[in-house]
Chain A
């Protein structure tokens, strides 16, 4: 338990939205605390999505999300230069099968022009030349070069690291259970201690309506919408080089082919409403829907190529839009209902919200020194042979391979732990250990040994991702 403390701003929720707000606030002379219920940041919806930085021409300008997405997209180049997460603008194709669908592409093209999103119409010949493995039945495509793919968890880890480096305090394993108005602000009660804040930001994702209800600011409801995703075998790397969407309609529901930042092809997501805010299960129907649709786009993709699957929950709100800004409760702000394209919009959401907080009187005085850079993690596998040689020479721990499928070295794992990983998944999402073909069959014990050594905690108290996700139990105990 931590000692009770006070701060200027408390942010509830360490998803990408909370992390971005924390980092933006760290520019100013404010005491900021971010509280997160999980063992690490980014373990909510932020690590279970399609990882696309959308260009912004799928949504109209009359919604907040439609406006913030374009701005968010533009902020990503600077962010990447500063934070060093995996991000590449590989471009996106919306592909049409019929003349009627080509009509829809033209409408999207028009919307793109309105929003200042660069696009290009491709005919069939161009499409076949650029993406020879797509279905021969596709007749045209709308290409948007500013679409990108990202490793969203790396983004969250680097963003919080940067925030902490600039003075933000991070509380993990700190579920918020109550918020009460008190003298001088709002008292936030968490599983790990109490904190009184002048300003509280609700960035609690699918739980944001529950958090709002804690202060009686529940003017909206979250209607979680599940999306399943399927990762395909590394053998298929390169099959498709750009994001491939079918023309949006009732059936497609945003399902697409995603050549992820690391090259692995992923297909998904579905869009299924659910009442259960913990329901991140995958289902045979979900798989069927996705693969039926994807086969029509790229016939050589098969369900049998799946190496892993997961699901995430979109925090869709009953207003259908993002809910960002002040509430009837003084000092309480929402950054709630951040459904797709929330990852893309997150940097813009932070700026938009902080501007409002400033208008309301929060003192935004810049610090004399603010460090935008964090140390970029070394990805041994992505280096040239010459660079690899130099890395091993400088640090023999780069000569010890931990994960053989993804070629991750001991030095990388140790660095990940030094930069905040506390769980097996924390290491995995920072370094890719266990993400390859054997899914951790060979490296899990080694990763656990390194966590045990670096964190100096018993082997059996290590978890997969915090909470009750224990990995092993000592031998000889009563079963």
Chain B
């Protein structure tokens, strides 16, 4: 690939997960001539490569695929349409020259440290998992405390169990999926412990991965201490009060040799941070306009690096759009500047994008802070919608029509989600 590598592309995509592949296809659809996908791993596919369970593509392909199958379908299109994919290529830096051309610095074993020019860039680096350090569990530091995603990789890609008697902290989807997987592979899963009074995973995962296997979920409970010198020997768990403070008088010790952490994902934004792209402290991703453009002109973002998604179909939809705008940008098509600021109101944790323009239809993704059932969603005084229930774990997708924005004359549009 490198022998005949181009050093100049219309659009360069950083990251070859579903977001990166979607963005590349979107860019091509929008008329970009040469598109390149740079992927750090040995093959494209991203997190999907380790998600060998079914449950992907229900919305996009209307059938239930495994992660690798979903990735494979996209990769086939990408290759079919002559998009260059460069695996084992790690992007180490990004710069913009005085003409606005982007220089993408990439490390590859054959090409060495190369610099690739692009008119537009799409960031699609995905996310990483929160670790023990980020929630500060006191105790010792034995082997056997690991993130659920690492456990998934060990089981699905290496064929080894991370342990035999497993506790899971946090009810994120990866943890739930791993509870089932480890049980099927012969490990004993002693329980899932969740700090909040509700699950952080999708409801279907709670049912299919825990309930069906009689794995208990302990809500409003957390791990307060880790025991064991060489290998994990036990954890101490305790219920928490209304302020999420552990009630140590009710603590109990749970023997186990493995603790999986499924306590959340964080967009992997070092590259964006390095070059000074403005980040949203709530999402952990870049602040973006309605064209999914970051604060750096011509640099776009989508997928888990923009905000953490729960289903890949939304990632695909978002990345096709982001890629489309990046493709347009490379053809020097400039959209008018957004005139409306979106403001997260009552019970709304965040919304993406951060601004809108009245000239076209928008899809806005948002998450709530608290469960409400049923809920009323209001967009300024412009529209109202009743939702059966809303929970923090499930992203809400909302279409906003241009006709509606036509009637709006302010510059700040607030979204509220209150009990109906």
Contacts and interface: CB of A to CB of B under 8 A. Distances in A.
A478 B164 CA distance: 9
A309 B135 CA distance: 11
Interface string A454-479: 00000110011111111111111111
Contact of B109 (A284, A303, A392, A439): A392
B363 interface: no
Given A308-B133, A471-B143, A400 B128 contact: no
Nearest to A460: B160
B112 A389 contact: yes
Interface in B145-168: 146-147, 149-150, 153-155, 157-165
Interface stretch (B116-124, B185-193, B321-329): B185-193
Question: Interface majority SS on B: helix, strand, loop or mixed?
Answer: mixed
A138 B210 CA distance: 55
B43 interface: no
Interface in A223-261: 231, 235
Contacts of B163: 472-473
- Number of chain B interface residues as a range: 35 or more
B370 interface: no
B134 interface: yes
Contacts of A74: none
Contacts of A400: 88, 109
Interface in A250-288: 278, 280-284, 286-287
B77 interface: no
A301 to B, nearest CB: 14
Nearest to A387: B113
B361 interface: no
Contacts of B62: none
Contact of B128 (A392, A437, A467): A437
Interface in B259-300: 270, 273
A441 B133 contact: no
A118 interface: no
Given A280-B140, A469-B143, A470-B143, A404 B90 contact: yes
B138 A287 contact: yes
Interface residues of A, number: 57
A407 interface: yes
A477 B186 contact: yes
A472 B133 contact: no
Given A392-B109, A440-B150, A472 B158 contact: yes
Contact of A401 (B107, B160, B165): B107
A309 B229 CA distance: 15
Contacts of A444: 146, 150
A399 B139 CA distance: 38
Nearest to A388: B113
A453 B21 CA distance: 33
A401 B158 contact: no
B286 to A, nearest CB: 16
Given A399-B109, A459-B158, 15 more contacts: A281-B139, A281-B225, A306-B134, A308-B132, A401-B107, A404-B40, A440-B146, A441-B128, A445-B158, A468-B230, A468-B231, A469-B143, A472-B162, A476-B186, A478-B186
Shortest beta-carbon contacts, A-B, top 7: A399-B109, A468-B230, A464-B143, A472-B160, A396-B109, A469-B230, A308-B133
